[in-house]
Structure 1
């Protein structure tokens, strides 16, 4: 009745009624949740966060609930809520979660690859905070399928380019080999690979290649 008077007889059933229901039951609900939870600080913190999330949902504040869940690393809830909302919301939430993962976490590499994006590690592999490049490459290579083979090879080849640009020739050539980059001619600067372990670009003869690298290339080629 008070609400009717306050709003001049106009009530939004979707907004006003949920607020009344939630407000009137909030104390009892908190007591029930508190009595059934553990007394540890982590449990209390998690319960408090989820209570806030419940309140946003009870008030129909879907976008706020998704944002709140992401900010507090309640990723499972964020994904489920956004999935039940619409495709655009789900994709936006998924991208937000992936973006906020640590760069050195191979989960980020896996998720980016699965989402059809070139993993950020590919062009930043030589930076220390990306961690061990072999772990990232393992995740990329292990998830190469018939349907994404060309895309995965592009990612690995790009990683090889990043290594070469930083002077890490063997790592770069290793990437080229597993990405199925063909051997080319040392006379063609556009070819990425002529002799394993040697950079041929700008060279007019084979003086750039050491005997061990020539032997290594011959052994691999045969």
Structure 2
């Protein structure tokens, strides 16, 4: 037995800022303190002192053990005295390494090359460890979003190779995002888009007569062939009928001519042509995301990613990272919004990729509103199968 306390010690810890567990234990261990503060005598009618009674009930009816974690991997247990004759409490100090020596978690801790600030830690060791963890994520059948978990580790590998976030440009991360982007079929839109992410695209046949030159979709019944459409557009301009020529160019799919002419006719005409142009793209096309971002707006994909109808979120993040806008605040807010949308759908790893690329700051665990606390884990909902980084 080790007696580490004497009357009044733990009562003073209440005011000195020590743990509440120690203070709770003092209710049973320091009888003199408790009696002085909580026990008051009751006088009988004849002036004699009667049985004492408590002014306020104790938190616990019987003494109980208090367990706490020490700062160097220790488990500390204090068993209070169970009778009035016992003057001291039992203090036990255990090593967590010995207790958990045969567990999977302890074996992973032994293989962990950190902390990353250690002077003798080589970059190659950290990268090799991250490669192993990415492979473990891809082989884990119980992990809901294996590809995003592996992507988060691969992003850390990129950070290690480039010596930090400040040395990485958006195109570097975009290239990482688009590696094997739809090897699992996660992003194959049902309608044609303007971006082909295949490394070796097949040769495409020229659009049939009357097809839209932009999207390849069949034109409306009143549309003309490109040569005739251009001739009609030119004749309208020769006659000084600019508004009719602009409408003819848009209807015929001559968007280059339409955009140039509209830019000389005023901002209202230009915005009208832009809206007509973008409306022909499907909602989940990454070009829609880019055009909305370049217009100074938060793209719709930022709030809708993670939904099956929108497909893979990675092309949208890649196109935002690869194309810098005049307002860095809008770009950062768009990426953070995408991360929040993914987090709300339970895609924690994907959300953390967005937060890291947007340079979100890390917060504290008790503050549930913080976006980042521990990579790979949601601090608002702790689960046993989280891959903490």
- Scaled by the length of structure 1, what TM-score is found? 0.65
Aligned with residue 48 of structure 1, among 221, 228, 236: 228
Shift of 1:55: 4.1
- Structure 1 runs not aligned, ≥5 long: 1-39, 217-222
In the alignment, the residues of structure 1 paired with residue 343 and residue 331 of structure 2 have an alpha-carbon distance, to the nearest angstrom, of 19
Shift of 1:184: 1.2
In the alignment, the residues of structure 1 paired with residue 244 and residue 354 of structure 2 have an alpha-carbon distance, to the nearest angstrom, of 43
Aligned with residue 360 of structure 2, among 181, 194, 218: 181
Query: Who is 1:91 aligned against?
Result: 271
Shift of 1:53: 2.5
In the alignment, the residues of structure 2 paired with residue 166 and residue 212 of structure 1 have an alpha-carbon distance, to the nearest angstrom, of 15
Query: Who is 2:285 aligned against?
Result: 105
Deviates more, 1:126-135 or 1:174-183: 126-135
Aligned with residue 200 of structure 1, among 374, 379, 382: 379
Distance 1:137 1:165, change over 3 A: same
Q: Does 1:165 align with 2:344?
A: yes
Shift of 1:210: 4.6
Deviation track 1:78-103 (CA, whole Å, cap 9, x = no partner) reads 10110121222113322331233223
Distance 1:70 1:171, change over 3 A: same
CA RMSD, 1 decimal:
2.7
Q: How does 1:109-128 map to 2 (within 5 A)?
A: 109-128=289-308
Distance 1:97 1:165, change over 3 A: same
Q: Does 1:77 align with 2:252?
A: no
Count the aligned residue pairs: 170
Query: Who is 1:21 aligned against?
Result: none
Aligned with residue 314 of structure 2, among 134, 142, 146: 134
2:303–2:338 CA contact under 8 A, matched in 1: yes
Query: Who is 1:62 aligned against?
Result: 242
Q: Does 1:144 align with 2:324?
A: yes
Structure with greater contact order relative to length (CA < 8 Å, sep ≥ 6): 2
1:109–1:136 CA contact under 8 A, matched in 2: yes
Query: Who is 1:33 aligned against?
Result: none
In the alignment, the residues of structure 2 paired with residue 63 and residue 166 of structure 1 have an alpha-carbon distance, to the nearest angstrom, of 47
Shift of 1:126: 2.2
In the alignment, the residues of structure 1 paired with residue 266 and residue 344 of structure 2 have an alpha-carbon distance, to the nearest angstrom, of 43
Distance 1:105 1:84, change over 3 A: same
2:376–2:386 CA contact under 8 A, matched in 1: no
1:66–1:78 CA contact under 8 A, matched in 2: yes
Distance 1:41 1:174, change over 3 A: closer
Deviation track 1:87-125 (CA, whole Å, cap 9, x = no partner) reads 221133223312332233322222222221222211122
Shift of 1:57: 3.0
In the alignment, the residues of structure 1 paired with residue 309 and residue 248 of structure 2 have an alpha-carbon distance, to the nearest angstrom, of 27
In the alignment, the residues of structure 2 paired with residue 189 and residue 107 of structure 1 have an alpha-carbon distance, to the nearest angstrom, of 34
The answer to which structure has the higher strand fraction is 2
2:377–2:386 CA contact under 8 A, matched in 1: no
> Which of structures 1 and 2 has the bigger CA Rg?
2
Deviation track 1:7-57 (CA, whole Å, cap 9, x = no partner) reads xxxxxxxxxxxxxxxxxxxxxxxxxxxxxxxxx846971123223323443
Q: Does 1:153 align with 2:332?
A: yes
In the alignment, the residues of structure 1 paired with residue 277 and residue 209 of structure 2 have an alpha-carbon distance, to the nearest angstrom, of 25
